[in-house]
Structure 1
Amino acid sequence: MKIAPTPLNESERIAALLSYDILDSEFERSYDELTELASIMCGTPISLISLIDSERQWFKSKVGLEARETPKELAFCAHAILQDEVFVVENALEDGRFADNPLVTSDPHIRFYAGAPLITSEGHKLGTLCVIDRVPRQFDPHQRKSLSILAKQVMKLIELRQVCQRLQTYGQEMLAANNAKDRFFYIIAHDLRSPFNIMTGYAKMLEDSLNSPELADSKDMAEEISQCCKSTLKLLNNLLEWAMCESGKIKYRPSLIDFEHLADEVKGLVSGMVSKKSITLRMEGIQGLEVFGDRYMLFSVLQNLLHNALKFTLPGGSVVLKVTKTATHAHISVSDTGVGIPEGVLQSFLNLQESISTAGTAGEKGTGLGLLLCKQFVEKNGGRLKIASRVGEGSTFSFDLPLAVQNASSVA
C-alpha cells in the first residue's frame, strides 16, 4: 500500500479547511442530495463528500457506507486531492498503490473509485466528491464531467455555508452593538440629566442666598455642587472609557509599569474621599514593584476599585491595596471593611450585559459602569477579576498581573 504524499501547501490547506468550520458538523440535506445524485449519475452504490484533515478523512455526507471517517493513510481521497482533475482507479486490486489497502482487502471491498477534488477559490483542495463500487468498472467521459460539475456545486455549497455563518455572527455582533448603544443613551438620558438638574437648582439657590444677610447655608450648597460636579465628571469618564472599549478603540499597549508610582497617583485622586470619610487607606507590598501591562487600563482599574471600596466603607473604616508576589505574577487586591455585597447581587456586578448602581455609605452615586470597565481591562491584560464579599464585613476585589521581569525581553 502506498500512502499519499503530503501536499506542498499542507499547512495552508489545513488552515483553509478549518476556516470553513465544517468538520464534525451534522448531516445536512442539501449535501446528502448532491451525494445521492452522484451515485445515481455514476451508477455506484457508494458516494461520499470526503474532507481530508491532517489525520483522517471525514465524511460530510455519505451514501452506502456506515463509517463516518477513516484514517488518512488509507484514504483514496488523499491521493485524489493531489490532482487537479477527477482521480480514477478502475480496479484497485490491479493498482500497486491500493491492492493491499484494508479498504480493498476487507469491507467495504473497494474496487472502483473516482474522486473529483473540492477546490476553493484560492486553489486549496479540501477533499473530494467521490463515487465507489465493489466491482471493477470503467468511467466514461460523460460521468467524469458530471462528477466534476457536481464537485463544484458541493464546493459552492460549502462556501455558501461559511457566508451564512459569518452573516449570523455579524448579525449577533450588530445586535450586541445596538443594545450597547441603547444602554449608552439610556445612561446619558437618566444619569446625566439628574446631576445637572441638581447643580442648576443649587446654583440658583446659592445665587439667591448670596443676596441675603444669612449665608450660613452657602458653604454646604457649594460643597454639594462641587461633589455633584466630581461625580458627574467620573460618570463622563467612565462612559467615555466604556464606549471606547466597546467599540475597540482602546488598544492594549503593554509596557513595564512602576506600580508604586502608579498607586501613589491613584491615591492622590481619592485622597479627598479618604479625608472626608475619615477612612484609613493602606498600601502594602508595592515598594519597588514593577509589573507588565497596559498602564492606562491598570490606572483605571485601580481608580475604580479604590473608589468603590471607599464608597461602600463607613466612616472610620479601612481600605487596603495589597500586592503579594509569586515567581511570575503579582496578585493585586483591594479590600475594605465596608457593608459587603449580598449573595444575590454578587455575580451581577460582573455580568457584561448589565450594570448595577448602588448608593455608597455617604449617599455617593454611581452608574455601575466602573466594575464593568475593570473586568474588561483586567481581561485585556490576561487576568480575571475576582470578588469575595460578606455582608457586614466587607469585600475584596483581586486580579493577577505578570511581573515585569518575566516580560522585559518582549518590550526590549
Structure 2
Amino acid sequence: MLAAPILENEDKRIKELYDYGILDTPPEFNLDEIVFIASYICHTPISLISIIDKERQWFKANLGLNAAETPRDISFCGHAIQQDEIFIVENTEHDERFKDNPLVTADPKIKFYAGSPLITSTGYKLGTLCVIDYKPSKLNSDQERILKALAKLVIQNFEMKKLFKKIQNDEKNLIQHAKMLSLGEMASGIAHEINNPLMIITGKTHLMKEYIKENKTIDGTYLLNEIEKIEVTKDRIKDIISNLRLFAKNSEKEPLQPYSILGLLNETLLLCNEKIKNRSIEINIEHSENVKNIYINCKPNHIRQAFLNLLLNAYDALETVENKVINISFQVLSDRIKISFIDNGVGISKENRENLMKPFFTTKEVGKGIGLGLCSTKGIIEEHKGIFYLDTIIQNTCFVIELPR
C-alpha cells in the first residue's frame, strides 16, 4: 500500500483549512444534496465531501458510508489532492497503490474511486468531492464534467460561509470600535463625573476636620449627617466606575437577560450627565409610571451602547444651538416599547437621510466622527429583533428605537 503523501505546502494548506472553520461542523442540507446528485449522476452507492486534516480525512457530507472519518494515510482523497484534475481509480485490485489498502481489503471494500479536488480561490486543496463503488467502474466525460462542477459548488459554499463569518466579525469589530470612540468622546465628561463627587468628599472632610478643631464638645448629629453625605457621594463614584467598566468590557459573549429599559437609560446617563451639563444641555425624560415595570430581553451592554450613541449624536448636533434640549420619551405598546430621542439641533437634510445609517457616512467635521455611531446602533437594535429609524414626521431630529417587550 502506498500511504497518502504530504503536500509540499502542507503547513499553509492546513492554515487555510482552519481559516475556513469547516472541520467538525454539523451537516448542511445543500451539501448533502450535492453528494446525492454526485452519487446519482455517477451511479455509485457512496459519495462524500471529504476534508483532509493533518492526520485524518473527515466527511462534511456523507452518503452511503458508515463512518465519520478515517485515517489520512490510508485515504484515497489524500492522493486526490495531489493534483488539480479528477483522480480516478477504476479497479483498486489492479492498482499497486491501493490493492492492499485496508479500505479495499476490508469494509467498505472499495473497488472504484473518483475524486475531484476542492480547490480554494488561493489554490489550496482542502479535500475532495468523491464517488465510490463496491465494484470496478468508469466515468464518462459528462460525468467527469459534472463531478468537477459540483466540486466547484462545494468550494463556493465554503467561500460564502467564510465571507459571511468575516462580515460578522467585521460588524462586531465596528461596534467595538464605535464603543471605544464613544469612550474617547466621554473622557472629559467622565473626569467631571468623578471629579465633582471627589471635590464634595474633599470639602466635607475638610469641614469636619475644622469643626472638630473648633468644637470641644462634638455634635454627633452634625458629624453623622456629613458622613452620610460622604457615603452617598462615594456610592455615586462607585456606580460611575462600575458602569464605566461594564461599558468598556468586550461584550461579544454577553448573554441575553431580562433588564429594565428605564434602568438601562439611567445607567447610560450616569456616564455622560456631566458632559451634557457642561454644554448646558437640558435633558427631559418623559415616561408613564408603568414604564418602570417594562423589561426587555437583551444584552444590556449593547443597549447601553445604542443609547450612548444617540445621546452623543444629539450632543454634537446641539453644539451651535442656543437653547439646547434633548427629549427622551417612552411609549408602551402591546408587544414592544418605543423610545424616542429628540433634539432641537440643526436637523438632517433630506439628501443626507438616505445614507445616514451607512458605515462611515458622517456630516461632521473632519476629526469629530467617522460615521459608525448610527450604523452600530442600527446593528445592535436589529440584533435584538427591534427596529431603528429616523422619524421624519417630527420637525426636530427624532431617532426612534422599538424593541420587543
Using the size of structure 2 for normalisation, the TM-score is 0.49
